[in-house]
Amino acid sequence: MDKKKIIITGGLGFLGSAIAKNFFHKYDVVIIDKVEQTDSKVNRLTEYSDHFFYRKMDLAEMSTSDIEWLEDELTSTHLFFHFAAAVGVKSIDKDPKASIIKEYQVNMALLPMLAKNKTRTIFASTSEVYGNKEDCKEDQELSIGTPDILRWGYACNKLMTEFLIRSYDVPHTIIRLFNVTGKNQSASQGMVLPKMIQDAKEKNRIYVYNQGKQTRAFCHVDDFVNSIDSIVHSDLFHNQIVNIGNDENKISILELAYKVKELISPNAEIELKDYHEEYSNESEDIFKRSPDTTKLKQVYTPSIGIDEIILSFKDE
């Protein structure tokens, strides 16, 4: 029997590639990404390239042939994983307007196609939609930051995509992600843990913004993949929102820095910096962010602790 087909947008990225590596045994995998497949700096699937069909394509600027190809592919697609987006505080801060505009352009082109084919879609939203909150629940009222700060446009965009998916009646599960991390995640996009570890190894410094009292809850990428697998193969969460994260790994950023020092680079110095030494005035720090994962735990309970997450970077 032929395997069913899945499409992963942003499939060469950290999360998209993790899904691809998990699912290629079970499905025919088609990857869409705007970067070159041969670019080893961003392609985490080089050794798996024989297992996928790859199409270089920018969903915000599709040509006529791109649109025709995708429309044809969707007629036989079992699952559509939509993970193409600007990623990381650093990249969003660098060009917040572009991330907002491009997501709009992608939505206007892509969602009508998904609606026409009634393609079940797994959409990677963000915990940014909760603003500064702890123990965030999927059905709570949302309150993000001031509209004077362009960073919050990213959260608004993701939330609008959630509303558009529902408005177009696309069969879906929306996942809101909380600090998913692990080996091979890029430090250049401002992700907290890989940036700390890179600085500890290369500069013998671990930088902490302000006093480091900010809290996060980190989730290992393997727990993320197992969560996705469990969601896809359960009969739950159709046309619903689910948080993916690990509520057991809540930690302050200063505590995290000391753990990185202990486990990765004992001689590294911890240095406090003002947030705006690194980020523009169009960005704003998040002081607290953690998930309520009661809903996720109906199908999967993340179990990888913070020490094991940190140690997974050690041999990079």
CATH 3.90.25.10 range(s) for the chain read: 182-217+248-290+300-311
Contacts of 194 (CB under 8 A, 6+ apart): 181, 185, 186, 187, 313
Q: What is the dihedral of CA 199, 220, 98, 79, to 10 degrees?
A: 150
How many Cβ atoms are within 10 Å of 170's Cβ, its own excluded?
24
Q: Which amino acid is at 180?
A: V
DSSP H/E element including 71: helix 64-74
Instruction: Please tell me the distance from the alpha carbon of residue 16 to that of residue 45, in angstroms, as a whole number.
Output: 10
Specify the pLDDT at position 2: 75
pLDDT of residue 186: 83
Strands (E), the chain: 5-9, 28-33, 52-56, 77-82, 120-126, 133-136, 172-177, 180-181, 205-209, 215-217, 219-220, 240-244, 250-252, 269-273, 289-291
Dist CA 29 CA 49 (whole Å): 11
Would you tell me which CATH number, out of the four given (3.40.50.2300, 3.40.50.720, 1.10.3720.10, 3.90.120.10), belongs to the domain 5-180+218-245?
Answer: 3.40.50.720
Are 162 and 124 spatial neighbours (Cβ–Cβ below 8 Å)?
no
Q: Could you please report the per-residue DSSP string of 187-214? A: TTTT-HHHHHHHHHHHHSEEEEETTS--
Confidence at residue 284, expressed as pLDDT on a 0 to 100 scale: 79
How crowded is the C-beta side of 182, counted as CA atoms within 13 Å?
19
Give pLDDT tens digits for 136-157: 999 999 988 888 888 888 888 8
Which residues of the chain register pLDDT less than 50? Answer: 1, 40-41
Residues of the chain with CATH 3.40.50.720: 5-180+218-245
Decide: helix, strand or coil at residue 56: strand
Predicted local confidence at residue 1, as pLDDT? 47
pLDDT of residue 280: 74
* Domain 182-217+248-290+300-311: homologous superfamily in CATH: UDP-galactose 4-epimerase, domain 1 (3.90.25.10)
| Whole-number Å distance between alpha carbons of 24 and 28 | 6
Nearest Cα to Cα of residue 228 among 85, 17, 13, 3: 17
Q: For position 300, what pLDDT does the model report?
A: 98
Cβ neighbours for 42, distance < 8 A, ≥ 6 positions apart: 12, 13, 35, 186
Show the CA angle centred on residue 240, arms to residues 137 and 24, nearest 5°. 110
Give the model's pLDDT for residue 36. Answer: 66
Residue 89 has what pLDDT? 62
Rounded CA separation 292/309 (Å): 20
